[in-house]
């Protein structure tokens, strides 16, 4: 069957070779003055090479005052045109079309970055910075002009289209929404007045680029915040926009909600029904682009085939795998590195002013450092002990550099702790990490041996040229419960080696403890978390932490923070001490779950060290961390010992 996602579509004269679009994402790779850099160009060039039909380049600011990232792209000066032209030429050379997204962040701009006052539609306490300044009608008119001038620069640079960003709580959205628009002049109060700025911006852009030039508009289906716009509020706006733009790019959310970059608790294609409503509303006048967790390409294919949308935009999935589209079209979908919506490398970094990376793909952000190749043509015999994420990454990259690689795993399956990390609710996608590695290891020619522990004597006998040790970690088990039958590790619970009890006390309220508590509570166990710190899940990103704590609350999980356990009686009754120094005895629990962390498994390392055998320790056996730490640490180690050390910078 021909994939409908691999058929062309035309938007106002711009013919796209397939139905996959790269969604615009601020990556913080541009120069401080807004100009493109080689890092930025190479990043987009790689995604174009990977098969998408249209690359929508990230949020290009129409004026300095609209920025919030030091490395945010600019289109507010004629000096930007030359660099943007180079970007266009490099993307075109890979066979993709390219559009530039035009943006002003309004209340979400950063005066610390720009050195300029934050421009507001209205001052709304709690949503706007107290030092922001409400714009006059004259200042609004000046911004309308700047949108048109920015579009003209994009056209002069050779972009095939522009996209006006009217979503995500940025300036145009701030005018549209009654949540942030409290004006009483011609730009506020009624829906007609609140739409005025958006329509004037479109008119200004059209006046500069002409009717034959494709103009896209990004719109949110809902804001996901009390008092914000709902789908029913948005539909009248959609009807007006359909007469003035050439395509609608359908997203959702504002900065204060979790919808803009949804994490793993949101289902795949979670915004598809709202997108369907919007496509029905425009009645085929213009194409509609869907976005929102399309890590599975077969789901994107179905959405298009069923008529929910005309195209699908990929954001984070292209950070995880730049060749997602090409692999799907050529029957290699099992090799796709599928985004798990962890947000660790992307929004988790830009949220603190760092450049975007990807937890699962160390090559993202480093495209400009090509080629990734060995410093020496000598083919080495490389062993990797341990098949968790660090071991699989090291084996894969060593093989890609042309070496003879054997990966040995002591258990019957690859994945290490990934096999447990996928067990809590909303973590099922983690299974895909091992599946992708398995396919890519096979393609790279890695010899994988399961049920094969490595010993120092074997290393002495076989003499590999290089040994990576990735034997992972073991759960910490405090001495006071070392021999208690009712005390189990989180590993034992998540691996389902034991049946959940009617009541459980989870000792440790970090990410692992909270996720284990959610797992137990979802199985019907009455669960209490005991945590020494004053807050739960302090090691999670803020938005994900709020969502997880909300789910724990809904499940009735009780939290005892600022408390430490002193002892546990054989009947399961625990004596605890609060941060105020008071001691309390808790009623008996049937199960005590230990989730106080992991420590490196150093058994093999110790044996190698005793025999003066050189090795490189990676992953949790070097330092316990998250998936991103394991993957990136292994990649760096391979670059340092087998490739070019500068590649891991």
| pLDDT per residue as tens digits for the range 236-265 | 999 999 999 999 999 999 989 888 998 898
147 in Cβ contact with 204 (< 8 Å): yes
Query: What is the rounded CA–CA span in Å between residue 262 and residue 559?
Result: 26
Query: What is the rounded CA–CA span in Å between residue 486 and residue 568?
Result: 10
> What pLDDT sits at residue 372?
62
The model's confidence at residue 517, banded by pLDDT at 50, 70 and 90, is very high
What does the pLDDT look like over 270-292, one tens digit per residue? 999 999 999 999 999 999 999 99
What does the pLDDT look like over 555-611, one tens digit per residue? 999 999 999 999 888 888 999 999 999 999 999 999 999 999 999 999 999 999 999
Closest CA to 619 of 603, 631, 605: 631
165: CB partners within 8 A, 6+ apart: 24, 59, 101, 102, 103, 172, 218
- Answer whether residue 293 shows pLDDT above 70: yes
What does the pLDDT look like over 295-354, one tens digit per residue? 999 999 999 999 999 999 999 999 999 999 999 999 999 999 999 999 999 999 998 999
Query: What is the rounded CA–CA span in Å between residue 442 and residue 452?
Result: 18
Query: What is the rounded CA–CA span in Å between residue 478 and residue 269?
Result: 43
Query: What is the rounded CA–CA span in Å between residue 373 and residue 540?
Result: 35
> What pLDDT sits at residue 201?
98
State the DSSP H helix or E strand holding residue 636, giving kind and residue range, or none if neither. helix 627-642
71 in Cβ contact with 30 (< 8 Å): yes
Strand partners, 133: 119
> What pLDDT sits at residue 487?
87
485: CB partners within 8 A, 6+ apart: none
How large a percentage of the chain has pLDDT more than 70? 98
112: CB partners within 8 A, 6+ apart: none
> What pLDDT sits at residue 543?
85
Query: What is the rounded CA–CA span in Å between residue 27 and residue 350?
Result: 7
619 in Cβ contact with 634 (< 8 Å): yes
The CB density around residue 412, as the number of other CB atoms within 10 Å, is: 7
DSSP annotation string for 354-378: PPP--SS-TTTT-GGG-----SS--
Give, rounded to a whole angstrom, the gap between the first and last alpha carbons of the chain.
44
> What pLDDT sits at residue 648?
62
- Answer whether residue 375 shows pLDDT above 90: no
> What pLDDT sits at residue 500?
77
Closest CA to 416 of 618, 640, 591: 618
Task: Give yes or no for a cis peptide into 103 (omega within 30° of 0).
Answer: no
Query: What is the rounded CA–CA span in Å between residue 95 and residue 49?
Result: 7
| Category of 483 on φ-ψ map: left (φ > 0), alpha (ψ -120 to 50) or beta | alpha
What does the pLDDT look like over 194-241, one tens digit per residue? 999 999 999 999 999 999 999 999 999 999 999 999 999 999 999 999
Q: Exactly one of 170, 187, 294, 437 is catalytic; name it.
A: 170
The model's confidence at residue 501, banded by pLDDT at 50, 70 and 90, is confident
The CB density around residue 461, as the number of other CB atoms within 10 Å, is: 8
- Answer whether residue 371 shows pLDDT above 80: no
> What pLDDT sits at residue 69?
93
191 in Cβ contact with 178 (< 8 Å): no
> What pLDDT sits at residue 647?
62
State the DSSP H helix or E strand holding residue 382, giving kind and residue range, or none if neither. strand 381-385
Is 170 designated active site? yes
274: CB partners within 8 A, 6+ apart: 221, 222, 231, 250, 252
> What pLDDT sits at residue 480?
79
Closest CA to 508 of 594, 381, 633: 594
Query: What is the rounded CA–CA span in Å between residue 99 and residue 101?
Result: 7
Closest CA to 423 of 517, 292, 294, 544: 517
- Answer whether residue 112 shows pLDDT above 90: yes
Residue found by looking up tokens 């094969």 in the block:
452
Query: What is the rounded CA–CA span in Å between residue 288 and residue 275?
Result: 8
Q: What is the mean pLDDT of the chain?
A: 95
466 in Cβ contact with 429 (< 8 Å): no
What does the pLDDT look like over 56-90, one tens digit per residue? 999 999 999 999 999 999 999 999 999 999 999 99
How large a percentage of the chain has pLDDT more than 90? 90
The model's confidence at residue 485, banded by pLDDT at 50, 70 and 90, is confident
Query: What is the rounded CA–CA span in Å between residue 333 and residue 32?
Result: 38
What is the mean pLDDT of the segment spanning 125-135?
94
The CB density around residue 10, as the number of other CB atoms within 10 Å, is: 11
Query: What is the rounded CA–CA span in Å between residue 333 and residue 337?
Result: 9
């Amino acid at each position: 069957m021909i994939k409908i996602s691999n058929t062309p579509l035309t938007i106002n004269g711009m013919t796209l070779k397939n139905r996959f679009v790269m969604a615009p994402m601020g990556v913080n790779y541009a120069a401080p003055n807004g100009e493109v850099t080689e890092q930025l160009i190479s990043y987009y060039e790689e995604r174009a090479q990977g098969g998408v039909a249209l690359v929508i380049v990230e949020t290009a600011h129409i004026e300095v005052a609209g920025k919030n990232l030091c490395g945010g792209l600019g289109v507010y000066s004629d000096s930007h045109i030359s660099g943007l032209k180079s970007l266009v030429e490099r993307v075109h050379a890979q066979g993709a079309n390219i559009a530039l997204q035009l943006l002003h962040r309004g209340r979400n701009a950063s005066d610390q970055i720009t050195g300029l006052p934050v421009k507001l539609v209205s001052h709304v306490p709690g949503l706007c910075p107290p030092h922001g300044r409400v714009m006059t009608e004259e200042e609004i008119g000046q911004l309308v002009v700047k949108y048109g001038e920015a579009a003209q620069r994009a056209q002069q640079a050779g972009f095939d289209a522009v996209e006006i960003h009217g979503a995500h709580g940025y300036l145009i959205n701030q005018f549209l929404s009654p949540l942030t628009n409290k004006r009483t002049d011609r730009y506020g109060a009624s829906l007609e007045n609140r739409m005025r700025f958006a329509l004037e911006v479109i008119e200004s852009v059209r006046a500069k680029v002409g009717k034959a030039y494709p103009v896209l508009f990004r719109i949110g289906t809902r804001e996901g915040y009390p008092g914000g716009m709902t789908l029913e509020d948005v539909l009248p706006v959609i009807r007006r926009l359909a007469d003035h733009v050439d395509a609608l790019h359908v997203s959702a959310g504002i900065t204060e909600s979790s919808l803009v970059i949804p994490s793993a608790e949101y289902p795949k294609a979670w915004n598809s029904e709202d997108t369907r409503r919007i496509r029905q509303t425009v009645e085929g006048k213009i194409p509609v682009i869907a976005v929102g967790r399309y890590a599975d390409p077969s789901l994107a294919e179905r959405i298009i085939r069923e008529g929910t949308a005309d195209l699908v935009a990929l954001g984070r999935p292209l950070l995880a795998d730049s060749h997602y589209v090409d692999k799907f079209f050529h029957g290699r979908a099992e090799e796709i590195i599928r985004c798990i919506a962890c947000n660790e490398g992307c929004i988790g970094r830009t949220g603190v002013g760092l450049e975007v990376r990807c937890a699962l793909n160390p090559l993202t952000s480093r495209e400009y450092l090509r080629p990734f190749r060995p410093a020496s043509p000598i083919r080495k015999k490389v062993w990797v002990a341990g098949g968790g994420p660090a071991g699989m990454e090291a084996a894969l990259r060593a093989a890609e550099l042309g070496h003879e690689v054997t990966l040995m795993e002591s258990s019957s399956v690859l994945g290490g702790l990934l096999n447990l990390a996928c067990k809590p609710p909303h973590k099922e996608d983690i299974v895909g990490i091992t599946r992708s590695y398995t396919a890519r290891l096979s393609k790279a020619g890695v010899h994988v041996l399961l049920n094969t522990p490595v010993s120092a004597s074997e290393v002495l006998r076989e003499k590999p040229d290089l040994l990576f040790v990735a034997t992972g970690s073991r759960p910490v088990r405090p001495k006071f419960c070392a021999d208690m039958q009712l005390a189990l590790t989180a590993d034992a619970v998540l691996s389902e080696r034991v049946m959940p009890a009617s009541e459980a006390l989870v000792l440790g309220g970090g990410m692992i403890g909270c996720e284990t508590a959610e797992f137990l509570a979802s199985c019907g166990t009455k669960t209490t978390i005991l945590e020494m710190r004053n807050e739960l899940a302090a090691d999670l990103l803020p938005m994900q932490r709020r969502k997880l704590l909300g789910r724990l609350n809904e499940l009735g999980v009780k939290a005892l923070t600022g408390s430490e356990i002193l002892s546990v009686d054989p009947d399961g009754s625990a004596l605890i001490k609060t941060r105020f120094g008071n001691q309390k005895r808790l009623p008996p629990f049937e199960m005590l779950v230990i989730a106080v962390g992991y420590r490196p498994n150093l058994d093999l390392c110790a044996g190698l060290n005793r025999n003066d055998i050189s090795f490189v320790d990676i992953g949790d056996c070097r330092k316990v961390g998250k998936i991103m730490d394991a993957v990136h640490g292994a990649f760096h180690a391979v670059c340092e010992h087998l490739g070019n050390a500068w590649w891991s910078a």
